[in-house]
A and B are shown apart, each in its own frame.
Chain A
């Protein structure tokens, strides 16, 4: 038997081997994609992302609510058999801006409106300093809430209630 292989058939074999390699690579990617789709059903954060698979490298893009979810998604994909590399292009929205500081009324207009508010409560005296209202004197319990409801709308820093409630 002649074991010599002609150049032609050697070429053919090479092409065959190469195409097998290509197909197997494609099959692996397909399997990875299927595994990702299955994971998407389990993980809410993953569901909204796009995963592109190429030769065992998975590129993740889209948005996660926070950085821990982002890391978790990457780890989940890395754990899939056949995945060689994960490119994490997931974005995380910037944190919301801190709330605006509380606006405190200036002492002069505050004093004026405090005096308007307490004018109908003869036993009550009020002073205003640095945005803080200090109430002294005495008041009936039935009137206290009404007075307080009013004072709280004046944008004070604080209300020091030293009233004696009768």
Chain B
């Protein structure tokens, strides 16, 4: 079975869910799915399908780079760490000095998306710095 067939349910769902700039490419026996999901729920849904088609993501034959569309500046995001505070850093990288903290479940303002991993944010206390995007959930 070709990779496109194996992940057909996933790519079909991406189309139905309104993933923008959807690209499905096969290269060296890996299927690359790129695009921008309209919201976090759509992205989660795609990942649920992926996990169903390839339990625990064991096969390594898919790279799904589907992100939520860049939030407009000024959007608020909730700090979605497990329980700890989120480090706010001077630059985008864990090697950068910590300039502040954002409490678990507090709200920060998105200033800009530097890349898919690091977003420039402003905390409620007015501290500005880079936070790891994985722990930020944009509020719609």
Given contacts A148-B57, A161-B60, contact A112 B93 (CB under 8 A): yes
A99, A117, A144, A157: the one within 8 Å of B57 (CB): A144
Given contacts A149-B47, A153-B67, contact A116 B60 (CB under 8 A): no
CA distance A137 to B93 in the complex (A): 24
Q: With both chains docked as a complex, state the minimum distance between the C-beta of A7 and any C-beta of chain B, in angstroms.
A: 81
Q: With both chains docked as a complex, state the minimum distance between the C-beta of B99 and any C-beta of chain A, in angstroms.
A: 17
Contact with B along A142-160 (1 / 0, CB 8 A): 0011101110111111111
CA distance A102 to B29 in the complex (A): 12
Q: With both chains docked as a complex, state the minimum distance between the C-beta of B53 and any C-beta of chain A, in angstroms.
A: 13
Tell me if A93 is interfacial: C-beta within 8 Å of chain B: no
A148, A150, A165: the one within 8 Å of B117 (CB): A150
Q: A101 — which chain B residues lie within 8 A by C-beta?
A: 25, 27
Asked if A152 and B56 sit within 8 Å, CB to CB, the answer is: no
CA distance A116 to B95 in the complex (A): 9
Tell me if A119 is interfacial: C-beta within 8 Å of chain B: yes
Asked if A153 and B28 sit within 8 Å, CB to CB, the answer is: no
Tell me if B119 is interfacial: C-beta within 8 Å of chain A: no
A-B residue pair count with CB separations less than 8 angstroms: 62
Tell me if A24 is interfacial: C-beta within 8 Å of chain B: no
Tell me if A115 is interfacial: C-beta within 8 Å of chain B: yes
Asked if B94 and A116 sit within 8 Å, CB to CB, the answer is: yes
Query: Which secondary structure dominates chain B's binding surface?
Result: mixed
Asked if A150 and B63 sit within 8 Å, CB to CB, the answer is: no
- Interface size of B by CB at 8 A reads 25
Contact with A along B39-64 (1 / 0, CB 8 A): 00001000100010000111011011
Asked if B28 and A157 sit within 8 Å, CB to CB, the answer is: yes
Tell me if A91 is interfacial: C-beta within 8 Å of chain B: no
CA distance A96 to B65 in the complex (A): 24
Given contacts A102-B27, A153-B67, contact A117 B134 (CB under 8 A): yes
B30, B56, B93, B132: the one within 8 Å of A157 (CB): B30
Asked if A150 and B60 sit within 8 Å, CB to CB, the answer is: no
Top 10 A-B pairs, shortest CB-CB distance: A153-B116, A102-B32, A116-B94, A165-B56, A102-B27, A148-B57, A160-B60, A152-B64, A150-B134, A159-B60
Task: List residues of B whose CB falls within 8 A of some A CB.
Answer: 23, 25, 27-28, 30, 32, 43, 47, 51, 56-58, 60-61, 63-65, 67, 93-95, 116-117, 132, 134
Task: List residues of A whose CB falls within 8 A of some B CB.
Answer: 99, 101-102, 112-113, 115-117, 119, 141, 144-146, 148-150, 152-161, 165
